[in-house]
């Protein structure tokens, strides 16, 4: 396969094809063989499994126990749990005990509360096929990486887009004219809506059976005698308890079996079952003409189940609405207008965006959303990128301009060549990073999990104490019989069990993380970890790289000196070596010599050395382009002159002989001065650390208002790391480093918070904790403010959970004597405790940054 860059700088497969083949192209590639793998006993495989059982919080279920389970297998390593997508990812070294074939079966036996489904590599879509879907799961075409049966006549097809196109897959004779299934909503939103529908249905059904019980309990004495009325209530209560509420027993048992500890559902089971059994006992004694002090109270258990279900439905509704509000996937259009040629008269065909292929050309009309990342090949327009980058100003686009998915076209008509497919475009990338932040755990989340894990045992202990105390009070103080005293004590114990809820504690942090991640993305801040949200508010030192970070990306050559007469040969060497690096200095050199339309010299073994420059060979001679100290020419007159002018310097040598010296100058970013002043106003130390020469760094620091003692020049990558490490020796310091280049990657990784400027290298982006989608330093202020808002809401949630559970338990336990929570109304506790947590998290959407 041929790879090359298009005029916009994207790497594309098969760029020689001006337009993709016609829509009815059919691949004749043969089906792959898997037999070649069977002879290899050991293989290291990257496995992703979809987990079929998912719960809402750490105190409720087994998802968080999966890493411990998987680590018991010596074949498994590097386990990661993705909570939002309910996926577990790890590496598997196959053996006779555990391998790709028996993986799902073995894990299913060890974790019966979960179902596992292996996810194939590559993008995919659902197809409705003719005949049994099982017949398509083997022998599929080359380039298709997996086919999974998901229904009687439906399959999920995954493919490698650099090998086979989506439309080629769809039209391949192997699938026998399938129908592309309707596009599903984002996985998490779809699951939440499905969960909500089920909860609403069950709640309504429970209410239908509970209503007659309530009517009979409060007005039935005028219709039936007590025994007949009790029989009807018993029948209805049994349906509610074991029919509608039966799943509580299953989930409580599976949870306890997998974790060894009782969960929230165990509280529900014990409380409702206790109320039911007490009522049955009271009814039996009534039917035998030996009634207890308390009459049957079937309305308690039925109303408990109904209100608990209603509380879960209300919480699920609020949670689903919160997810809807921050969904990045909602920015992705569903249809693309594909053109079949470069001329205006060529046909334009609307197709599903899932069927786009590399090098396709689509048309964007005014007020339409950009389908996916691409390069403009014709047309001119103004684009609104605010939904993705947060930048409100319109961006002018013309031929060879990059456009990003989710942005909106305003005026002209554009033809755009596809550079990235939907599964890898900017919207998807941002969404994935936000999801990773949601699934990552911070220290404060660990604290919440610890509290949630011990919550249920503590409530059990309190409940037992409540029952014991009220039993003793009933016999010794109120002079009740032991049976009557136990019945009264049981009502207090039931209220105590039900009213307490660890779900709010479990959601206190993840809910705010989820909303904060989405809010950050809409303000051009992509936070990779929740830990960053937690500590950014504590920032004490902000360190900027100089070139391309404090200065604008575009640097200009303002001084040049040649050791010999300037010749085309020297210019071609300079151009070629500079083109190897994506550093702003190299880009400026390339732009400088592009003006003269100079061809590149044929280089060999060109290597970019971070913090130094580029080294290559030309006709067996060593050519270097980089800083004068690396080349050993810092004392040359030309270099000294450039230093005198406070310029950044780039030199070229051949076999250690200086050929040329260039002085470059970059402008301070427009918002740099204001951002630095605001940081200093907040008592945050601001520094510059650069590989550039000292005069150039000092000159920029003077413009930016940074004290000269906070500037550090001639720093290589390890020097930047060492400086940050030295600051971190004081444990109270939280260091934020902002950079954009490959030479900043080590410093980005070393800092407590690494911030990557948009437009930098992928190496730097991978090392960073935060990615700025627009090149604005003001986003650092937004990051700190978002962190403070995040912390305030998490703190409120913890305080609310503590206060709620203290007072709710005291009310339910009868601590206030006059006021108490009756057992039948304690079921509303989940909604009362969880809803404020969700509302406080959602309020981040309206916060000002």
Phi, psi dihedrals of residue 578, rounded to the nearest 5°: -65, -30
**Residue 164 is encoded by which pair of tokens?**
């086979």
334 touches 350 (CB < 8 A): no
**Residue 563 is encoded by which pair of tokens?**
């050791």
Cβ neighbours, 10 Å, residue 51:
22
Closest by Cα among 102, 256, 390, 315 to 836:
315
Residue whose structure tokens are 């904790």: 769
CA 465 to chain CA centroid, Å, is 43
Instruction: Report CA-CA distances (Å) from 466 to 103, 301, 496.
Output: 47, 19, 8
Instruction: Report CA-CA distances (Å) from 434 to 399, 511, 516, 766.
Output: 32, 13, 9, 14
Rounded Cα–Cα distance for residues 510 and 83 (Å): 10
SS3 for 509?
A: coil
Rounded Cα–Cα distance for residues 140 and 136 (Å): 7
Residue whose structure tokens are 């509290």: 451
Catalytic residue among 265, 373, 435, 545: 545
Cβ neighbours, 10 Å, residue 174:
16
| C-alpha R_g of the chain | 33
472: Cβ contacts below 8 Å, ≥ 6 apart: 485
Closest by Cα among 160, 155, 147 to 29:
160
DSSP letter string, 77-92: EEEEEETTTTEEEEEE
Torsion of CA 612, 616, 622, 623, to 10 degrees: -60
Burial class of 226 by CB neighbour count within 10 A (0 to 12, 13 to 18, 19+): middle
Closest by Cα among 692, 686, 786 to 737:
686
Rounded Cα–Cα distance for residues 724 and 283 (Å): 74
Q: Is 384 a catalytic residue?
A: no
> 559: part of which helix (H) or strand (E)?
strand 551-562
Strands 76-82 and 11-13, sheet pairing: unpaired
Rounded Cα–Cα distance for residues 39 and 421 (Å): 36
**Residue 584 is encoded by which pair of tokens?**
């702003």
Helical ranges in 691-777 per DSSP H: 694-704, 717-728, 745-750, 762-767
147 touches 155 (CB < 8 A): yes
Rounded Cα–Cα distance for residues 642 and 646 (Å): 7
Give the catalytic positions in this structure. 545
């Amino acid at each position: 396969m041929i790879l090359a860059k298009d005029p916009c700088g994207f790497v594309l497969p098969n760029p020689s094809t001006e337009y993709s083949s016609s829509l009815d192209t059919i691949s004749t590639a043969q089906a792959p063989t898997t037999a070649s793998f069977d002879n290899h006993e050991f293989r290291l495989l990257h496995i992703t499994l979809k987990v079929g059982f998912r719960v809402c919080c750490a105190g409720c279920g087994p998802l968080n126990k999966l890493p411990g389970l998987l680590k018991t297998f010596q074949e498994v390593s590097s386990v990661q749990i993705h909570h939002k997508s309910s996926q577990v990812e790890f590496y598997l070294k196959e053996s006779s005990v555990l391998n790709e074939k028996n993986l799902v079966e073995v894990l299913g036996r060890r974790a019966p509360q979960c179902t596992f489904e292996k996810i194939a590599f590559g993008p995919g879509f659902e197809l409705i096929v003719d005949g049994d879907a099982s017949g398509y799961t083997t022998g599929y075409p080359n380039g298709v990486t997996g086919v999974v049966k998901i229904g009687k006549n439906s399959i999920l097809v995954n493919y490698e887009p650099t090998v086979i196109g989506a439309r080629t897959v769809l039209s391949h004779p192997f699938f026998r004219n399938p129908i592309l299934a309707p596009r599903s909503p984002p996985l998490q939103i779809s699951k939440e809506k499905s969960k909500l529908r089920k909860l609403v249905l069950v709640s309504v059904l429970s209410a239908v059976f509970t209503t007659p019980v309530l009517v009979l309990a409060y007005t039935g004495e005028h219709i039936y005698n007590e025994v007949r009325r009790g029989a009807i209530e018993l029948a209805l209560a049994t349906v509610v308890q074991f029919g509608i509420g039966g799943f509580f027993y299953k989930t409580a048992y599976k949870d306890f079996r997998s974790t060894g500890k009782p969960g929230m559902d165990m509280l529900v089971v014990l409380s409702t079952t206790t109320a039911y059994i007490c009522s049955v006992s009271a009814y039996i004694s009534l039917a035998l003409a030996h009634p207890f002090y308390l009459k049957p109270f079937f309305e308690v258990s039925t109303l408990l189940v109904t209100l608990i279900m209603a509380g879960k439905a209300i919480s699920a509704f609020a949670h689903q609405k919160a997810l809807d509000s921050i969904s990045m996937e909602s920015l992705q259009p569903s249809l693309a207008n594909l053109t079949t040629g470069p001329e205006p008269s060529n046909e334009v065909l609307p197709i599903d965006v899932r069927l786009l292929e590399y090098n396709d050309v689509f048309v964007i009309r005014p007020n339409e959303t950009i389908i996916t990342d691409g390069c403009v090949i014709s047309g001119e327009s103004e684009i609104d990128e605010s939904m993705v980058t947060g930048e409100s100003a319109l961006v002018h686009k013309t031929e060879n301009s990059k456009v990003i998915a989710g942005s909106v076209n305003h005026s002209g008509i554009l033809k755009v060549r596809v550079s990235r497919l939907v599964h890898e475009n900017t919207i998807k990338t941002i969404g994935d990073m936000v999801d990773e932040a949601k699934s990552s755990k911070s220290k404060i989340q660990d604290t919440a999990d610890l509290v949630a894990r011990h919550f249920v045992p503590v409530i059990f202990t309190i409940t037992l104490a409540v029952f014991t105390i009220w039993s003793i009070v009933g016999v010794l103080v109120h002079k009740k019989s032991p049976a009557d005293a136990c019945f009264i004590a049981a009502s207090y114990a039931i209220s105590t069990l039900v009213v307490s809820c660890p779900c709010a504690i479990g959601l206190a942090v993840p809910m705010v993380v989820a909303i904060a991640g989405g809010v950050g993305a809409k303000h051009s801040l992509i936070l990779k970890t929740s830990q960053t949200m937690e500590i950014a508010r504590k920032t004490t030192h902000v360190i900027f790289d100089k070139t391309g970070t404090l200065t604008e990306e575009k640097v200009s050559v303002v001084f040049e000196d040649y050791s010999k007469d300037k010749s085309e040969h020297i210019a071609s060497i300079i151009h070629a070596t500079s083109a190897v690096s994506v550093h702003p200095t190299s880009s400026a050199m390339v732009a400088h010599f592009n003006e003269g339309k100079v061809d590149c010299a044929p280089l060999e073994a060109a290597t970019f050395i971070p913090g130094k420059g580029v080294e290559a060979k030309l006709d067996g001679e060593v050519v270097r382009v980089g800083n004068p100290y690396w080349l050993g020419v810092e004392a040359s007159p030309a270099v000294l002159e450039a230093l005198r002018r406070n310029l950044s310097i780039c030199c070229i040598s051949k076999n250690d002989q200086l050929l040329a010296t260039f002085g470059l100058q970059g402008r301070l970013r427009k918002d740099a001065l204001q951002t630095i002043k605001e940081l200093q106003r907040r008592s945050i130390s601001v520094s510059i650390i650069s590989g550039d020469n000292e005069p150039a760094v000092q000159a920029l620091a003077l413009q930016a208002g940074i004290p000269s003692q906070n500037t550090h020049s001639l720093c290589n990558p390890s020097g930047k790391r060492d400086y940050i490490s030295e600051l971190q020796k004081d444990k109270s310091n939280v260091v934020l480093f902002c950079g954009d280049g490959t030479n900043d990657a080590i410093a980005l990784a070393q800092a407590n918070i690494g911030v990557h400027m948009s437009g930098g290298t992928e190496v730097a982006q991978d090392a960073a904790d935060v990615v700025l989608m627009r090149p604005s330093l003001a986003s650092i202020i937004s990051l700190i403010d978002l962190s403070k808002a995040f912390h305030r809401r998490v703190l409120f949630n913890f305080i609310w959970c503590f206060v709620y559970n203290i007072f709710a338990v005291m009310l339910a336990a009868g601590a206030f004597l006059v006021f108490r929570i009756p057992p039948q109304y304690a079921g509303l506790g989940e909604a009362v405790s969880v809803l404020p947590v969700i509302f406080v998290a959602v309020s981040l959407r309206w916060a000002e940054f």
